[in-house]
Amino acid sequence: MKSVSLNTFPPKEVLSELNQFAERIVGREFHQMGYPFDQEVNLHGFYQWLIETKLCDVTLINVGDPFKTEWDMLESDEFERRCLGFLARSFGFPE
């Protein structure tokens, strides 16, 4: 497997451009049309948890059926099933 090392931060001029873009997007958060989003969500704690656990440094691409029984490299099926069960109960769907 190839190891890739990326700079932690982009060059200052690129970071400045990204910051300006972020400021514009945040300033227009309630002016979006299309798919309904919950703009009043607070994910600070979740993002902090991602950083603390270093899960933010892992690419998780796990497409497929969490109810399968064959081997899974990520070994995340049980957790996925629990998440689906929680969502099903929360929204009144059968488990």
Angstrom distance (rounded) from CA 54 to CA 80: 19
Structural domain boundaries, residue 83 = 12-91
Model-wide pTM > 0.85:
no
Judge whether 6 lies within some domain: no
Judge whether 3 lies within some domain: no
Question: So what's the pLDDT on residue 6?
Answer: 67
Question: So what's the pLDDT on residue 29?
Answer: 77
Question: So what's the pLDDT on residue 34?
Answer: 66
Judge whether 61 lies within some domain: yes
Q: What is the mean pLDDT of each run of 10 residues along the chain (95 residues)?
A: 69 90 86 69 88 88 75 76 89 83
Question: So what's the pLDDT on residue 13?
Answer: 92
Judge whether 41 lies within some domain: yes
Question: So what's the pLDDT on residue 83?
Answer: 87
Judge whether 4 lies within some domain: no
Report the 10 Å Cβ neighbour count for 24: 9
Judge whether 5 lies within some domain: no
Domain count, the chain: 1
Question: So what's the pLDDT on residue 63?
Answer: 73
